[in-house]
Structure 1
Amino acid sequence: MDDADRWRNMASAPRDGSRILVTVRPSEQGPAEVDVAYWARPDAFGIEGWRAGDSYPGCIIGYADPELKCWMPLPKANLSKNSPEMPTPWEGEDEEQLDGSGI
């Protein structure tokens, strides 16, 4: 995790509840986008799986494994004037190096 600014295979994403950045695949609902997500264990409000970082009980936004293309750790806090915005979604052609194939 020393190279925090590169996209990684979803198979290596942490499943400990920590929040990460994910590339959500493009679909009929819209283009690819970056979201904050975390792995949630089963509870009274849903099954285990990837949830959006802004989910809360009663309003859960879940992602199926094929919806997520890749991940990276959240960036460290940088209070300088030149701190970057959210990274752009990964759109490379070498999909065999990433998890899932999409539909």
Structure 2
Amino acid sequence: MDEPTGWRHMKSAPMDGSRILVTVRSSEQGGAEVDVVYWARADQFGIEGWRAADSHPGNIIGYADPELKCWMPLPKANTAGDSAVSSGMPEPWQGEDAEELFGSGI
């Protein structure tokens, strides 16, 4: 998680509204996954915090800080037209995680 171009600690995530990739921790609802989020200031649609990029008024998908493990910038678009380059989503970060989220999951 310490690579400059890989996953980074959430403490260093930009809170300027720009979109980033995050690893959402696994929980009782499912395994770890990658999502695109942005930091939103409090407004008439919700409180300040991380929101999924596909949120819209009336259907805000928000993440609490403990739900997010780490972040990375969005990959650059393939402007060279090289079809051999894969531009798929990265795998969620699978390193050791000492924190337990919302119970044991029995």
TM-score > 0.5 by shorter chain: yes
Q: Distance in 2 between matches of 1:55 and 1:102?
A: 26
Displacement, 1:92?
1.1
Q: Structure 2 unaligned runs (5+)?
A: 102-106
Aligned to 1:92: 95
Can you give the 5+ residue segments of structure 1 that lack an aligned partner in the other structure? none
The count of corresponding residues between Structure 1 and Structure 2 is 96
Of the two structures, which has the highest relative contact order with CA contacts closer than 8 Å and spacing of 6 or more? 1
**3-state DSSP of counterpart to 2:70:** strand
Partner of 1:11, secondary structure, is helix
Residues 17-96 of structure 1: pairs in structure 2 closer than 5 A = 17-78=17-78, 79-81=81-83, 82-93=85-96, 95=97
Deviations 1:45-103 (A, max 9, x none): 1100000010111110000000000000000001421223100000012x47xxxx242
Which amino acid in structure 2 is aligned with residue 88 of structure 1?
Answer: E
Structure 2: how far apart are the matches of 1:67 and 1:80? 36
Q: Greater shift after overlay, 84-93 or 35-44? A: 84-93
